[in-house]
Chain A
């Protein structure tokens, strides 16, 4: 007979669930609101979402304090794991989401914002991501991942046009395949360790001295394939440009940041110990993966004709750049990962918001996508501020100092240097140069070409105060990043180091 299990409530550390629960409650409350009174304006839902996210953030910041005092907090039979990187990544997730959600307040009406469910799904998705990062249990990772993904597929499709359905279906199908990979990889890990918790797997593998190296490698192969999909590493990246193009610019910007950081954290948990245990194969694979992802994505970005697709490829390249941190595996590198991503989120969200601002509903004759380069030509003459903002984000993405991403870049490259990855550091640097070309291309269009006749009325169609505010926030974050870097760096280092990465 089974013994009854006695669990003290205190040992459960229910508080570890608080941040996610806030998001879930928020989502449910919106469903309820809609039930009570339908047809409410989207601004209400935006604000409610914002409110809950704020609470969520507050809870996380509070956790941050706790973490700094007491270290990692485990909860619910050690399923929940609130360590430094979990808190950090959740903060980035929630903060990124807070920057995203006001983008719903466009001056034009788009289909998805007509649904209260949209906002509800959005909060569920955030909860999913939060679960995903706040555990080292492969099962919860999987469930959280799927919760978030399923919500995300729906959010994409809700944009309600042919391309967005196509994007959603593509994303979904490939996601299903990736889920299969993940399950299979987890299965093999379970087979050789008898556990589905990463730290235990690590311990057992180490105790076995990696005697089942073949199994480990097979498992890692499947896991790389699964996370390669999530982090859009070449050749698992193929969904990225299509999905970005198909979804609204705002959501595309969001996708380039939040899901990826969640993926990075899991990848860190999963691969870091292998890298440290001297699994040469993984180092080689990651090395190749990082280099190929960075370079190939850059090269493809060069030939794009649509700005959003270009930014999609550029996001892939940035993700590849950051993947290097996992390969390098030092505290400095992992700190760099978070720093980079925090800075990247401001800049990239700003860039995508600029696209969102410029979104027009009907394509003009001869226009094949939402944001062709030609649309931006001569923008400095018609809308200097907008052009300068966009130029700013492009420069930051290209890594021109003193704008945000530069600091992330030098820190990342610096960590590669100090870990002895000289060649990698060089490749990272040179890739930034290649990337310079396509960012510059947009600047060239905006600042050096004559405005297109007939487009005038279509610029800034979608602008509204809230969008402009977001752009302003992103711009300020991008320009004055230099002053934020030091505090960020200190906090992140503390969090990362104390989490053992």
Chain B
């Protein structure tokens, strides 16, 4: 019952898939942003695991930067959401179809 890298990769893949489902499924933009966080986190686990199993720090570095990126994204994303909400009073993405075709 040794836990190998494969376990982590599978876990990461499953979490990533959950994130994908969330991204596709959510109509509430805020909740949709949650799902994108899951995607990045899923990757982070794998990075840390790989880093651990091959004994290399680059993976952790990558994960570190991903966390930074996720944080920045949240800031900008929320900023965008706020202006959108201020202008329309909604954060439902089904309302966002003024451009199409």
Contact = CB atoms under 8 A, between A and B. Distances in A.
A183 B84 contact: no
SS of B interface (majority): helix
B69 to A, nearest CB: 5
16 contacts: A142-B69, A150-B72, A157-B83, A162-B87, A165-B87, A176-B33, A176-B36, A177-B23, A183-B62, A187-B43, A187-B59, A190-B50, A194-B58, A196-B58, A196-B62, A242-B100
B79 A184 contact: no
Contacts of A179: 36, 39-40, 69, 73
Interface string B58-101: 11011001101100110011011101100110000100101111
Contact of A139 (B33, B65, B101): B65
B1 interface: no
A157 B80 contact: yes
A283 interface: no
Nearest to B38: A180
A154 B47 contact: no
Contact of A242 (B47, B72, B99): B99
A162 B65 CA distance: 33
A162 B99 CA distance: 11
Interface stretch (A167-175, A371-379, A461-469): A167-175
Nearest to A246: B99
B50 A187 contact: yes
Given A138-B62, A172-B80, A245-B99, 8 more contacts: A153-B76, A157-B83, A162-B98, A167-B99, A176-B33, A183-B40, A191-B46, A242-B100
Contact of B73 (A162, A167, A170, A176): A176
Contact of A150 (B29, B39, B76, B83): B76
Contacts of A168: 80
A176 B77 contact: yes
Contacts of A78: none
B42 A184 contact: yes
Contacts of B77: 172-173, 176
Contacts, number: 123
Contacts of A194: 50, 54, 56, 58
A139 B59 CA distance: 10
Nearest to B72: A150
Q: Which 6 interchain pairs have the tightest Cβ spacing?
A: A180-B39, A176-B36, A183-B43, A242-B99, A165-B84, A150-B76
Contacts of A176: 33, 36, 39, 73, 77
Interface of B: 5, 9, 12, 16, 19, 23, 29, 32-33, 36, 39-40, 42-43, 46-47, 50, 54, 56, 58-59, 61-62, 65-66, 68-69, 72-73, 76-77, 79-81, 83-84, 87-88, 93, 96, 98-101
A379 to B, nearest CB: 24
A176 B77 CA distance: 9
A191 B58 CA distance: 11
Contacts of A177: 23, 36, 39
A478 to B, nearest CB: 29
Interface in A125-160: 138-139, 142-143, 146, 150, 153-154, 157, 160
A195 interface: yes
Contact of B99 (A146, A163, A191): A163
A183 B42 CA distance: 10
B63 to A, nearest CB: 9
Nearest to B76: A150
B73 to A, nearest CB: 6
A310 B98 CA distance: 17
A176 B100 CA distance: 21
Contact of A170 (B9, B58, B66, B96): B96
A388 to B, nearest CB: 30
Contact of A146 (B12, B16, B32, B69): B69
A34 interface: no
Contacts of B93: 169, 173
Contacts of B36: 173, 176-177, 179-180
A404 interface: no
Contact of B43 (A170, A172, A184): A184
Contacts of B42: 184
